[in-house]
Chain A
Amino acid sequence: MRPNDRAGSNLMRRQELELLAAKIRRNVLDICMQRGGYAGQGVALADIAACLYFDELRDDTKGWFHDRFVLSNGHDAIMCYGALAEHGSYTMEELRTYNADGTKVDQSPIEGQLGFEITAGSLGQGPSQAAGIAYGERLKGSDKRVYCLFSDGELQEGNVWEAAMFASHHQLSNLVYIIDNNDLGATGSTTDTLGVEPVPEKFEAFGFAARRINGNNIEEILNAFDEARQIHDKPYVLICDTRLFVGIDCLRAVLPMAHYVAAKDADWEAGLTEINAKITSLTNRL
């Protein structure tokens, strides 16, 4: 399986991406079980990561991506790490230093680290930068598309809505926002702290084409990306409903609301066993 390999039937394409998503989940656990981390988000976002990195972003023929990905929600870097390990741009050995003193693999990376276009731990600053990149790429006459991942928590920041107004005013149809809509912030459910819904309607009112999907359904994710490419007069927002740890049931059961995870050894081991069994069965199916 290579990035952007659209050959083969839709079923093949989906099954390969499901296997990649399972491997991303395994990588996320492997990394986070060393010293803790944002495992729940990494696991939940594995399907989006598989579709994005291994299907949607086009290859630049130099081992990297032609299209641009902007991670706004810094701590979701764990999703990128899980995927970039499969891509071959990071080794698991490097990634296992995540959260260690002196590591080069930041939990929320700084601009310039491989795979990260912006410094993103101060949340809510990605959507505007992605819009600026999309504006600049279009001005240059480039065909690059710009994808920006951010979270429901970030929707509480005014900066995000300033970005939305700008992107639609400039009809940035080369811009796709992907929202991890997991009803969770640092303190608990965003429904309780400060409700963000209805998300699609808000973006539609701002002039976006909006699509709400199950963020763990590969077919829905791929269809949405296909749809986004057909729209030429407005930006696109993909609202992905997710929940922490979807895809690893035993961890989802014990850590349903853990924004940051320092799990017990036994829980990590159980999670690894579950995901390894899944990888075996998905591999056999291909």
Chain B
Amino acid sequence: MKLCSDLLDADSRTFDDAPFDTISYELCSRRSDVIMVSADLSKYTQMHSLKKKLPDQHLEVGMAEQNLISVAAGVSKAGYIPIATTFACYATRRAYDQMLICMGTSPLTNIVIGFTPGIANPARIHHQAAEDLGMIRAIPGATVIDPMDVTEFDQALNTAVDTPGLVYMRGHRGNTPRLLDPAAYTFQLGKTYQLRAGKGIGILSTGHATQWALEASAKLEHRDVEHSLLHVPTIKPVNEDEIAEFCFAHDQVVTIENHQIVTGLGSLVAEIVSDIGRGPRITRLGIPNRWAPGGTLPYIRKQLKLDADQLADQIVDVL
């Protein structure tokens, strides 16, 4: 079974070493009403060119995340589109009430980007954000996006600036692969993307974990295990019909996420399927509800059985 044509084939994949440098600068060049707000992490989210070339569209609040979110919300009330940027853990855990109150109850566009989400940070617990998607999807009316790569991150952000209300999205930084072909792929809010069509086991994944799912998918293909793969970048407002249709077309469903299996994509899919009833069994793979280790990403994935081989093993085990 062939992979979706929006995906670059393995040899044409490129790596971006500072994706948000370009994304933030290009967006602000195009839209003079956008203001990027940072909390002493602009160097680590890689907003270099913007600060140099468009300093009026960068606002620094210092290491103060509650202030970051509230000041950004204020900026939106003065007619601008703020994009508050920090690590996912601080954006959500440190300033959840500010996000819910100052942005969540406002009709104005307020964007928050959480970088190094899930286990994409080596410093355990305090720098990792295993619960951000669940926290923000609990806010009524919020939009929550977990892009799989740089192409989708870029397009989703460009969509977010025209989306009313609170938009929370996860960011990519550092040396990160581009898997979706920008010339072929179009991000649409709420749409799901079938990256691999097939029978057998239905795999759903989101965000960075879709990269892991693709790696596992290659292993499964090698092992002749029939499966299909649905990428779900928009966690909220979720496309319940597309998810239900995909799940009910398979006897076994597996979800993969760079997030706790409690409250994240796995929970979301289980909610949708159980609302209908008599659905397939759902196996949730991701960060368990215990503290993840720190260290390099390959090390953490291995410890949590989220590396390609162990993911494939667990997927085969559901049969």
Chain A interface (Cβ < 8 Å from any Cβ of B): 74, 100-103, 106-108, 110, 119-124, 153-154, 156-158, 185-188, 190, 193-194
- Provide the B43-70 mask, 1 if CB < 8 A to any CB of A, else 0: 1100000000000000011111111000
Q: Which residue of B lies closest to A186 (CB)?
A: B40
Please name all residues of chain A whose beta carbon is closer than 8 Å to the beta carbon of B125 when the two chains form the complex.
110, 119, 121
| Closest Cβ–Cβ distance, residue B41 to chain A (whole Å) | 6
Task: Decide: A108 and B126 in contact? CB cutoff 8 A.
Answer: yes
Cross-chain contact A121 with B127 (CB below 8 angstroms): yes
The answer to whether A185 and B63 touch across the interface, beta carbons within 8 angstroms, is yes
B138 contacts partner chain A, Cβ-Cβ < 8 Å: no
B contact face: mostly helix, strand, loop, or mixed: loop
Q: Tell me how far the C-beta of A58 lies from the nearest C-beta in chain B, rounded to whole angstroms.
A: 30
Q: B residues engaging A (CB < 8 A)?
A: 38, 40-44, 60-67, 89-90, 93-94, 123-127, 291, 293-296, 299
CB pair A154–B63 under 8 Å, yes or no, is yes
With A102-B299, A106-B294, A122-B90 known as contacts, the answer to whether A187 contacts B43 (CB < 8 A) is: yes
Q: Cβ of B299 and Cβ of A101 under 8 Å apart?
A: yes
Q: Which residue of B lies closest to A120 (CB)?
A: B126
Asked if A123 and B296 make an inter-chain contact with CB atoms under 8 angstroms apart, the answer reads no
Contact of B40 among A101, A103, A156 (CB under 8 A): A156
- Complexed CA–CA distance, A121 and B123 (Å): 8
Given A102-B299, A185-B40, A187-B40, A119 contacting B64 (CB threshold 8 A): no
Name the distance in Å between B52's Cβ and chain A's nearest Cβ. Answer: 13
> Would you give the shortest CB distance from B102 to chain A, in whole angstroms?
14
Which chain B residue shows the least CB distance to A123?
Answer: B63
The answer to whether A156 touches B295, judged by C-beta atoms less than 8 angstroms apart, is no
A192 to chain B, nearest CB (A): 8
**Other-chain contact of B63, A101, A120, A186, A188 (Cβ < 8 Å):** A186
Besides A186-B40, A194-B62, 17 other A-B contacts (C-beta < 8 A): A74-B126, A102-B293, A102-B295, A119-B126, A120-B126, A124-B63, A154-B63, A156-B64, A157-B64, A158-B64, A158-B67, A185-B62, A185-B63, A188-B43, A190-B62, A193-B40, A193-B60
Chain A binding surface SS class: loop
The reply to whether B67 and A186 contact each other, CB–CB distance below 8 Å, is no
Shortest distance from the beta carbon of B43 to any chain A beta carbon, whole Å: 5
Most buried by A among B38, B90, B295: B295
A18 to chain B, nearest CB (A): 33
Tell whether, in the assembled complex, residue A122 and residue B44 are in contact, meaning their CB atoms are under 8 Å apart.
no
Nearest CB to that of B294 among chain A residues?
Answer: A106
* Closest Cβ–Cβ distance, residue B129 to chain A (whole Å): 11
Give B72 Cβ to nearest chain A Cβ, in Å.
15
Q: A159's closest neighbor in chain B, by CB?
A: B66
Q: Given the complex, which residues of A lie within 8 Å of B299, measured CB to CB?
A: 101-102
Question: What A residues does B67 contact at CB under 8 A?
Answer: 158
CB-defined contacts of A188 to chain B, threshold 8 Å:
43
Contact in complex: A157, B63 (CB < 8 Å): yes
A155 to chain B, nearest CB (A): 9
A108 touches B123 (CB 8 A): yes
Minimum distance in angstroms from A42 CB to a CB of chain B:
17
Instruction: Point out the residues of chain A lying under 8 angstroms from B41, CB to CB.
Output: 186-187
Q: Which residues of B contact A157 (CB under 8 A)?
A: 63-65
Instruction: Indicate if the CB atoms of A153 and B63 lie closer than 8 Å.
Output: yes
Chain A neighbourhood of B90, CB < 8 A: 122
Task: Give bound CA distance, A157 to B291, whole Å.
Answer: 25
Is the beta-carbon distance between A122 and B63 smaller than 8 angstroms?
no
B62 touches A156 (CB 8 A): yes
The docked-state distance in angstroms from the alpha carbon of A121 to that of B121 is 12
On chain A, the residues within 8 Å of B127 by CB distance are 108, 121-122
CB closest residue in chain A, given B126? A121
In this complex, what residue of A is CB-closest to B298? A101
A34–B60 alpha-carbon span in the complex (Å)? 34
> Taking the nearest CB of chain B, how far is it from the CB of A242, in angstroms?
18
Closest Cβ of chain B to A76, distance in Å, is: 14
A-B contact pairs, 24 of them (CB 8 A): A100-B295, A102-B293, A102-B295, A102-B299, A103-B295, A108-B123, A108-B127, A110-B291, A120-B126, A121-B127, A122-B90, A122-B93, A122-B126, A124-B63, A153-B62, A156-B62, A156-B63, A186-B40, A186-B44, A187-B38, A187-B43, A187-B44, A193-B63, A194-B60
B124 touches A110 (CB 8 A): yes
Cα distance, A121 to B122, chains bound together (Å): 12
- Complex Cα spacing A107 to B65, Å: 22
B41's nearest neighbour on chain A, judged by CB, is A186
B291 partner residues in chain A, CB cutoff 8 A: 110
Q: Give Cα A188–Cα B48 distance, bound, in whole angstroms.
A: 13
| B2 to A: closest C-beta gap in Å | 37
